[in-house]
Structure 1
């Protein structure tokens, strides 16, 4: 049985879950988005088992697990920095991504 993750590790996993939600918000996931998410996960030292389980949902067309907003509210600026990096990283800013950013700000309790 795997040891429980420290709070910072759980926060990073929740950020990755959110990034996957953002990447799929426009009903298409680009190679650039996947690469950016994997790079972020590596930078956060997200365990490979966790990352594999999350990306398997994409490959198999399963619903993505929702991120834990109470965990994400611990550092909303870091969350938004990761989201912004993802949405501008592929060079395409879709209306659904803009709407998703607004919604994320609201859910995290941040002013518009």
Structure 2
């Protein structure tokens, strides 16, 4: 995967990677979640090539690339806002999603 030079673009790609991890945390990905991730990626102006590579992993059942937590720590509030929005998107919050949010907060250094 080519990494864009723009720091905001790199951050946004890492957020999308994280959102894909969150969407798959409950072992089912809803249409609402996928639509939200795609809309978020478009809003972030994530290059189509990057988004295609990520969604292809999902479609083919391949492991998703892990997000760069170091980059995500640059703006933990925006990261958690994106995660909360995704988790609530399908109207159901599963135990696995709650656990994933706890782990993300921990990785980002956010106090409970």
Same fold (TM over 0.5): yes
Equivalent in the alignment of 1:38 = 38
Equivalent in the alignment of 2:74 = 74
By how many angstroms is 1:4 displaced?
A: 3.4
By how many angstroms is 1:5 displaced?
A: 2.8
Runs of 4+ in structure 1 deviating by more than 2 angstroms, as ranges, are 2-5
When normalised by structure 2's length, the TM-score is 0.96
By how many angstroms is 1:3 displaced?
A: 8.0
When normalised by structure 1's length, the TM-score is 0.96
Which ranges of structure 1 fall in alignment gaps of 5 or more residues? none
CA deviation string 1:17-43 (max 9, x = no partner): 000000000011010000000010011
SS, match of residue 27 in structure 1:
coil
Q: Return the alpha-carbon distance in structure 2 between the equivalents of residues 54 and 44 of structure 1.
A: 15
Which ranges of structure 2 fall in alignment gaps of 5 or more residues? none
**Could you say if the C-alpha distance between residues 59 and 67 of structure 1 is closer, same or farther in structure 2, counting changes exceeding 3 Å?**
same
**Could you say if the C-alpha distance between residues 76 and 34 of structure 1 is closer, same or farther in structure 2, counting changes exceeding 3 Å?**
same
- Equivalent residue pairs, number: 111
- Residue 9 in 1 paired to residue 9 in 2? yes
Contact 2:3-2:10 at 8 Å conserved across structures: no
Once superposed, what is the RMSD of the aligned Cα atoms?
Answer: 1.1
